Chain A
Amino acid sequence: MNKKGTFNRKLSRREALKLFGAGGLGLYLASYVPGVAAASAQPSWSFPKNIIAQPRKYKFPAEGKPYAGTKINVSMVAEAKPDALKKVLPRFTEKTGIEVNLDILPYPTLQEKQFTVMTQQTGALDGVHVDCVWMGQYAGQGWIAPVDDLVAETDPEYLMLEDFHPAILAEQCMWEDKLYGLPFINAIHTLYYRTDIFDKHGLKPPETWEELREAAKLITEAESKNGVYGVTFMGKRGVQLLCTYVNFLGAFGSYFYDKNYVATLDSPEAIAALEFFVSLVPYANPGVLSQDWDECFATFAAGNAAMNIQWQNAAPGFADPSKSKIIGKWGITLTPGNKLPDGTIRRSPTFGGWCIGIATDSKNREAVWELMLWATSLEMERELAYAMPSSRKSVLGDPEFQKKYIEYETMLKSYDYALGRPRIPEWPQMADLIEAALSEAMTGAKTPEQALKDVNPLLNEILMSAGYQKA
């Protein structure tokens, strides 16, 4: 029998003969005769599906175990989803024969570890977990390679690329119109609020920043003697402070630089955004300016704040009785915005998230792709949802999941407004300067205006020397 024929290769001669005997061949051939085929548009009988297999057009996900025995090194950030993935990896190894050495590191040291390994150009690292703001450094400078060729060879019904939220794909996995990986961990800033406290004071979840400040003020004045403050957020110098500021920056109508790469943090809008942000400090818990993710989480989970501007990834913790004292007493909604003259509200919830990419120097591209496909497949996205939300629309929009994970609905809505941070390779350097400036303003060492006016020329200097600006 022809190897490339329609028949399954495993079909034995005897079985084939039985089929022919049943007249199958006759029908089959007849179906090619135009008249007959039209007459039997709805055949009452067809080949059993397990006997006739479609010709295999796609290389991925691979059948058999072509990459069995391959060992790949993958580096990921220490968050719930990679941990959950690590637990189910034995199943992947069983299925494909690929051995995965998954190295999970905390965020502050992850990049230097990845970079120092990758820059040796030895292929010691195969899969890398890339923070969206590192895209310029990784994809833009060629440390990870596009995956377009792999996508083309992959069964679209398994990959379902269009099922990933387009905003997530664009922010986390694309660089200059090319796809560099698949999303794994997606995050967006949201507003948590205490339903019981809001009910008590007859408040509604704030739609605008102004409303948020008023609510925070009212609650602080009424409840601070009980140790409950109006709002809490991540105010410690660092990346989280910067991320929190983006919620204000975009809503007030500004950004870090304009389309000509001229820094705009000295614009009236950016200054107003920071002035507003600073004005929340009196209505926040006393320790707000030394809070990173953990401390901020603890404050809200302990019931010490009525509102929390935070990544959506805190939600599972707030619902976990072993970590939270506010079970059933909180809600989640979009980050507030500013009302425009036409009545719409301009919001800019901060975008974050990660992509798994393949190192350019990796010698096991196909094996890494197999892992990426498997880890981000619909099946696994649903399974790992207990750890962190999926990036797929079908999971985020699934009513069953939305009931179980109350942040899903807000996340889906937020992505329409989501505002990412710059992703140019120079961003980490600029971010460090901005973080210091924000921290100076928050702690009162400088006025918001002074802090931003001091940092803006430094940003321009970086953008200029990197060649983005025309002199």
Chain B
Amino acid sequence: MTSTTTVTAQRRQRPLFRTRFWAHWSAPAIMLIPAVVILVALSLFPMFYSLWLSFNEWNLGDRTATWRFVGLKNFITIFTTDPFFWPSVRVSVTFTGVTVAVQTLLGLGIALLFSEEFRGRGLLRTLIVLPLMISPVVAGLIWRFMYNTDLGMVNYLLYLLGIDKVDWLGRQVSAMPAVMLADIWQWTPFVALILMAAIQALPDEPFEAALIDGANRWQTFRYLTLPMIRPALMVAILIRTMDSFKIFDLIYVLTLGGPGVSTQVLGLYTYKWGFKFFQMGYASALSYLMIFMMVVFANIIVFFMRRRVD
């Protein structure tokens, strides 16, 4: 009894919100609460929910079915008997590798070009970021129309050059490059934009020193510009790799994974298991494998990023 009274008395003397801890932390805590709530509700909860789901079997279509724990069965099926998992991984990796490489090179070139002063630079710089402002689905529809064999722009231009019609999205050999080209068109400006900012922020002194030492343009680029924009370059590559690897919308609009399975990326394959076949556990397992692969790739890039900076 006595102790309770003492505690109450103490509380009365120093209410919770008057403690030194709270005096210091109350404002930040209150301001952080919305962010934390949103993060937990929209990121952490679904993440753990789907992690748990990936160890279960759950057919959304079955009215009576509940989650049935199956341990690693989904993962084992994916690795051993699923005929389309590895082909999809291969397609995704190829797509990511090619598009990111081309986007980086082109983006770097454009950024270097725009670091020089010339007439109309401002206008061109605005124009070049236009593709970024288009939603990927709309971009996909535009390209789908341009690739149309009989009515499309691409074949019309080839026709002017005297080249026969090509069914870009309908043939095994051309479908993948066609999809890649659309992605490259849309996201090269993103890389260029980041690198332009990085180049503009570079200090003048090293370049002046190099000029005095008689370094040529290539040497200046190789030993000054490139090392100094390396962090920005790596960030651009990192973001693009993650985006490219989880591509869905563009492929969905352009080819739906066809012809055959030649453009069936992992994201599209996972979507099918979830929302066409309604096997939620299996789809979760697939998406976790996708995340796992993405984390591995990202860490490799981060590793390179850190090594040189140190």
Where the two chains meet, the residues of A that have a C-beta atom closer than 8 Å to any C-beta of B are: 111-112, 115-116, 119, 121, 137, 141-143, 235-238, 285-291, 295, 298-299, 302, 304, 360, 425, 428-429, 432, 435-437, 439-440, 442-446, 458, 461
CB pair A141 B261 closer than 8 Å: no
Chain A residues near B151 (CB-CB < 8 A): 298, 302
CB pair B171 A428 closer than 8 Å: no
Write the nearest CB–CB distance from A289 to chain B, whole angstroms.
3
Query: Given A442-B259, A445-B259: A287 and B148 within 8 A (CB)?
Result: yes
CB pair A443 B150 closer than 8 Å: no
In the complex, the chain A residue whose C-beta lies closest to that of B60 is A119
Residues of chain B from 76 to 101 with CB closer than 8 A to chain A in the complex? 81, 83-84
10 closest Cβ pairs, A-B complex: A287-B149, A237-B258, A289-B170, A290-B170, A440-B260, A112-B275, A290-B169, A443-B259, A286-B165, A142-B63
CB pair A237 B172 closer than 8 Å: no
Q: CA of A121 to CA of B63 in the docked complex: distance in angstroms? A: 9
Q: CA of A235 to CA of B168 in the docked complex: distance in angstroms? A: 13
CB pair B149 A286 closer than 8 Å: yes
In the complex, the chain B residue whose C-beta lies closest to that of A428 is B276
CB pair B272 A290 closer than 8 Å: no
Chain B residues near A437 (CB-CB < 8 A): 260
Known: A236-B255, A286-B165. 15 other contacts (CB 8 A): A112-B275, A115-B278, A143-B63, A236-B169, A236-B256, A236-B258, A237-B256, A286-B149, A295-B148, A298-B150, A436-B258, A439-B258, A442-B259, A443-B170, A445-B172
* Range class of the B interface residue count: 35 or more
Q: CA of A439 to CA of B257 in the docked complex: distance in angstroms? A: 10
Q: CA of A131 to CA of B26 in the docked complex: distance in angstroms? A: 57
Query: Is B61 in contact with chain A by the CB < 8 A criterion?
Result: yes
In the complex, the chain B residue whose C-beta lies closest to that of A238 is B256
In the complex, the chain B residue whose C-beta lies closest to that of A437 is B260
Query: Given A141-B63, A286-B165, A429-B276: A443 and B148 within 8 A (CB)?
Result: no
Q: CA of A312 to CA of B27 in the docked complex: distance in angstroms? A: 67
Q: CA of A429 to CA of B255 in the docked complex: distance in angstroms? A: 18
Query: Given A429-B277, A432-B276: A289 and B148 within 8 A (CB)?
Result: no
Q: CA of A417 to CA of B242 in the docked complex: distance in angstroms? A: 51
29 contacts between A and B (CB under 8 A): A112-B275, A115-B61, A121-B63, A142-B64, A143-B61, A143-B63, A236-B170, A236-B255, A236-B256, A237-B256, A237-B258, A238-B258, A286-B149, A286-B164, A286-B165, A286-B167, A290-B147, A291-B170, A298-B150, A298-B151, A432-B272, A432-B277, A436-B84, A439-B258, A439-B260, A442-B259, A443-B259, A444-B172, A445-B260
Q: CA of A289 to CA of B255 in the docked complex: distance in angstroms? A: 11
**Contact flags B145-160 to A (C-beta < 8 A → 1, else 0):** 0011111000000000
Chain A residues near B63 (CB-CB < 8 A): 121, 141-143, 360
Query: Is B262 in contact with chain A by the CB < 8 A criterion?
Result: yes
Where the two chains meet, the residues of B that have a C-beta atom closer than 8 Å to any C-beta of A are: 60-64, 81, 83-84, 147-151, 164-172, 255-262, 264, 272, 275-278
CB pair B167 A289 closer than 8 Å: yes
Q: CA of A458 to CA of B259 in the docked complex: distance in angstroms? A: 19
Chain A residues near B259 (CB-CB < 8 A): 236-237, 289, 439-440, 442-443, 445
In the complex, the chain B residue whose C-beta lies closest to that of A134 is B61
Chain A residues near B257 (CB-CB < 8 A): 237, 436
Q: CA of A291 to CA of B256 in the docked complex: distance in angstroms? A: 12
In the complex, the chain B residue whose C-beta lies closest to that of A290 is B170
CB pair B172 A443 closer than 8 Å: yes
CB pair B165 A237 closer than 8 Å: no
In the complex, the chain B residue whose C-beta lies closest to that of A446 is B260
Write the nearest CB–CB distance from B149 to chain A, whole angstroms.
2
Chain A residues near B262 (CB-CB < 8 A): 445
In the complex, the chain A residue whose C-beta lies closest to that of B269 is A432
In the complex, the chain A residue whose C-beta lies closest to that of B63 is A142
CB pair A287 B60 closer than 8 Å: no
Q: CA of A429 to CA of B60 in the docked complex: distance in angstroms? A: 14
Q: CA of A458 to CA of B258 in the docked complex: distance in angstroms? A: 18
Q: CA of A170 to CA of B2 in the docked complex: distance in angstroms? A: 82
Write the nearest CB–CB distance from B155 to chain A, whole angstroms.
8
Q: CA of A436 to CA of B83 in the docked complex: distance in angstroms? A: 12
Chain A residues near B260 (CB-CB < 8 A): 237, 436-437, 439-440, 443, 445-446
Q: Which of A287, A289, A299, A443 has the most CB of B within 10 A?
A: A287
Q: CA of A238 to CA of B149 in the docked complex: distance in angstroms? A: 18
